[in-house]
Amino acid sequence: MAYTAHRPDTEPEVRDRRAQDDASIGELLSAVTSDAQKLFRQEVELAKAEIREEAAKAGKAAGMYGGAGLAGYMTILFASLALTFGLANVMDWGWAALIVTVLWGVAAAVMYVMGRSRMKQVHPKPERTVQTLKEDAEWARHPTS
């Protein structure tokens, strides 16, 4: 009886098992890809819902700020009138109104100068973002450096 080399990987059962393993790997990759896409879509929907909720809160807060601004304006207006009426008790109405007007003019000039100096400190170009984008582009060109 002659001995022949027996190769187990050529047997039909082994080949069928390998085909099943290959198919199951492909199916697994497909399932993982599908699950990842589904998870990404769900995360996007969650983010949209959170943004809508926060936007509603911000809208309500902005409305409150608007109301506070109007109330503040009315307070200043009536305080100015009260000051004018109070000064009118000790001097002519015209001079009282002029004094209140000059006070508001000085306040406006001071706020303008302060606002202008702060505006000079504003840099519209996002410097740090531009720098990191340049670094990212450099890395993408030479990832091993």
pLDDT at 94: 94
pLDDT at 8: 53
Q: Give the global pTM.
A: 0.51
pLDDT at 112: 95
pLDDT at 123: 77
Q: How far apart are CA 86 and CA 89, in angstroms?
A: 5
pLDDT at 90: 95
- Residue 92 contacts residue 104 (beta carbons within 8 Å): no
H-helix or E-strand spanning residue 26: helix 12-88
Domain ranges of the chain: 21-90, 92-144
- Residue 83 contacts residue 100 (beta carbons within 8 Å): yes
How distant, in Å, are the alpha carbons of 101, 116, 117, 122, 124 from that of 127? 43, 21, 20, 11, 9
91 in helix, strand or coil?
coil
| Lookup: tokens for 86 | 């109070």
Residues of the chain with pLDDT under 50: 1
102 HSE (CA, 13 A, CB side) = 6
Closest CA to 97 of 108, 81, 110: 81
